Amino acid sequence: MKIKKHHLILLALCLLALPATLGSVSLQDGQAILTELDRLSTLEGKDLSALMTMISEDPDTGIEKTKVLQFRSDDEDKFLMLIQEPTVKKGQGYLMIDDNLWFYDPESRKFSHTSMKDQFNQSDANNSDFNSSSMADDYKVVSIEEGKLGNYSVNILELEAVNDEVTYPKRKIWVTAGSVNLQIKSEDYSASGRLMRTSYYPSYTTSDDKYIATKMIFVDELIEGKKTTITISDISFKDIPDSVFTKSYVERVNK
């Protein structure tokens, strides 16, 4: 399906010149916002392929640049991430099929089971950051208030997990309050309420009525100066063959 201009929607544009004040919002409104966030970001009837460039900054190990080919099929709830750079990691892959996430090591030629909660490639991103959104199923809204992020109006939602499958049991998210609900900031907490990570989503691209974040910034709140910035380019919504989401495909592209 043709992408509408395949343009980046910068933060000021995606906020759609929202009004300065809004009416009061309820917990029920908050749950509806989560449902809409899921709907806008889940690619029903289309697949996604893209190139991700990750810049990981660590005060101990320095800066590492990683390029990753990303493939998503939300209808089948599958994804594949293949590392292209650096050379020492080329061919490593993360494949999710049948609710199982596998890590492939081309050196040993073996798959090992891993978790959606784990960090992706030792960065500040988690494997769950690349799956289709299911916030309405995974969280309940425990508080909601209107607020500002910069000069723009937002709804600020505090969330608690309703299952143990999520990466973070507590979250706080900032969602644009207007004709389009987009998450532009989040804080992720442990069960005890300790802030673990802050994330920013300053730009999006759109195809029809679906929105994909094209820049994500994940800040580690436990280690000062540690963060990961991800930019997504070369986006395509063309159909991806089912054979791509298989272990045999991952092994074949590494030969």
What the block records as the tokens of 104 is 């492939």
Binned at pLDDT 50, 70 and 90, residue 102 comes out as very high
pTM of the entire structure? 0.87
CA distance 160 to 172: 9
Listed residue (64, 69, 95) closest to 82, CA to CA: 69
- For range 101-121, the mean pLDDT: 93
User: What CA dihedral angle connects 165, 229, 9 and 213, to 10 degrees?
Assistant: -20
Report pLDDT for 20: 33
At residue 150, the pLDDT reads 84
- Say if CB 246 and CB 82 are below 8 A apart: no
Tokens of 191: 């069960």
The tens digit of pLDDT for each residue in 150-203 reads 877 899 999 999 999 999 999 999 999 988 999 999 999 999 999 999 999 999
Percentage of the chain exceeding pLDDT 70: 91
Domain 8-253 classified CATH 3.90.1150.10?
no
Q: Does pLDDT of 8 surpass 90?
A: no
- The position carrying tokens 């009837």 is 45
**CA-CA distance, 196 to 227, in Å (whole number)?**
12
Cα-Cα-Cα-Cα torsion 199, 64, 78, 38, nearest 10 degrees, comes to 10
Residue 146's contacts (CB-CB under 8 Å, 6 or more residues apart) are 21, 22, 24, 25, 153, 154, 155, 156, 177
HSE value, Cβ hemisphere, 13 Å, CA-based, for 106: 17
Q: What are phi and psi of 56, to 5 degrees?
A: -100, 125
In tens, the pLDDT along 34-51 reads 999 999 999 988 899 999
Average predicted confidence (pLDDT) for the chain: 89
pLDDT score of 13 more than 70: no
Q: What number of CA atoms fall less than 13 Å from residue 231's CA on the CB side?
A: 6
168 is written with which tokens? 């973070």
